[in-house]
Amino acid sequence: MKVTSIISVLALGATTLASPKPIGNKHLPTTVIAGVEVVDTQIVRDAHALIKKFPDFLYWHSMRTWLLGAATINANKTLKAEVDLEAHALGTILHDLGWDMSENSPWVSKDRRFEVDGAIGAVNFIKAHKSYKPCTWTENRLERIFDGIALHGTFGIHPYKNIDTKWITSSVGFDGVNFTPTEVPIEKFDSIVAEFPKETFQKGAIDTFTWMCATKPNGTYNTFVEPFGTAYVPGYNATGKHSFDRITAGYTREQ
């Protein structure tokens, strides 16, 4: 092999490794769900099949999250070309694996906060998939998905992250309880909510947060889930569990 061709092979390898999106969005197969064009690869179909087994309120929430985000991204050509749409699909569809209240759930830990269970679960799901290749699902793509899920219960960080993490977390935010997002095109919002109804979501979310406080209190103290324990779980006691308590221990405020 000539020196020049070795150099060009090395250069090609470096370009491939540096790209967070080895598969260009325009080559991905798509389908339409509730009036929204979405990615239709086998791994996305299998993630969809996985969450379809969850209770309706959770399945519908996960679908709305994906579709509300995709509809908003699709409405902006620049954004649509820039976001890793397959990573966005998996990050949104799988973001609430940590809400699985079934006994012996493979996704739910005894002590971690639920967003981290979801993030670890999504990455494990991708790595265990028959189509998984480390060169396709680079550490960079996986970390963007991990962060997009892990940050969805924490305010103020994701807007300053990379575009993929930011859009996974933002899309989850589009489906808040008692909340209608202004960013999502209204006709798409209506078609999505018509197919995946939102009425049971408030009760489902409150039941799930309450269940977390009852079954894994260590994963709830000092997070937005904590007040559900204080309000609804007898014997739940967050006193002494706050960062404030540790930081102010032994401190007397000067007047």
Ligand X SMILES: *[C@@H]1O[C@H](CO)[C@@H](O)[C@H](O)[C@H]1NC(C)=O
Binding string to ligand X for residues 168 to 207, with x set by CB under 6 A, is what?
A: ----------------------------------------
Q: Between 76 and 248, name the residue whose CB sits nearer to ligand X.
A: 76
Gyration radius of the chain's alpha carbons: 21
Q: Is residue 245 involved in binding ligand X (CB under 6 A)?
A: no
Q: Which of 11, 14, 31, 111 binds ligand X (CB under 6 A)?
A: 111
Determine the Cα–Cα distance for residues 19 and 90; give it in Å rounded to an integer. 19
**Quick one: which H or E segment has residue 37?**
strand 36-39
Choose the binding region for ligand X from 50-58, 76-84, 93-101, 150-158 (rule: CB under 6 A).
76-84
Instruction: Give the other-Cβ count within 10 Å of 206's Cβ.
Output: 14
Contact yes or no for 118/208 (Cβ under 8 A): no
Determine the Cα–Cα distance for residues 249 and 243; give it in Å rounded to an integer. 10
- By CB neighbour count within 10 A (0-12 exposed, 13-18 middle, 19+ buried), where does 15 fall? exposed
Q: Is residue 215 involved in binding ligand X (CB under 6 A)?
A: no
Q: Is 34 helix (H, G, I), strand (E, B) or coil?
A: coil
CB of 170 to ligand X, least distance (A): 11
Q: Which of 4, 78, 104, 243 binds ligand X (CB under 6 A)?
A: 78
Choose the binding region for ligand X from 32-40, 120-128, 223-231, 236-244 (rule: CB under 6 A).
236-244
Q: Is residue 79 involved in binding ligand X (CB under 6 A)?
A: yes
Choose the binding region for ligand X from 22-30, 46-54, 73-81, 190-198 (rule: CB under 6 A).
73-81
User: Which parts of the chain fold into alpha helices (H)?
Assistant: 3-18, 42-52, 56-74, 77-82, 85-93, 114-128, 139-150, 163-173, 186-195, 201-215, 226-232, 243-248
Choose the binding region for ligand X from 18-26, 61-69, 144-152, 232-240 (rule: CB under 6 A).
232-240
Choose the binding region for ligand X from 55-63, 72-80, 98-106, 152-160 (rule: CB under 6 A).
72-80
Q: Is residue 4 involved in binding ligand X (CB under 6 A)?
A: no
CB of 95 to ligand X, least distance (A): 21
Q: Which of 27, 110, 130, 253 binds ligand X (CB under 6 A)?
A: 110
Contact yes or no for 164/144 (Cβ under 8 A): yes
Name the amino acid, one letter, at 252: T
Determine the Cα–Cα distance for residues 167 and 212; give it in Å rounded to an integer. 26
User: What angle do the packed helices 56-74 and 186-195 form, to 10 degrees?
Assistant: 160
Q: Which of 19, 230, 237, 248 binds ligand X (CB under 6 A)?
A: 237
| Residue ranges binding ligand X (CB under 6 A) | 76, 78-79, 110-111, 218, 237, 239-240
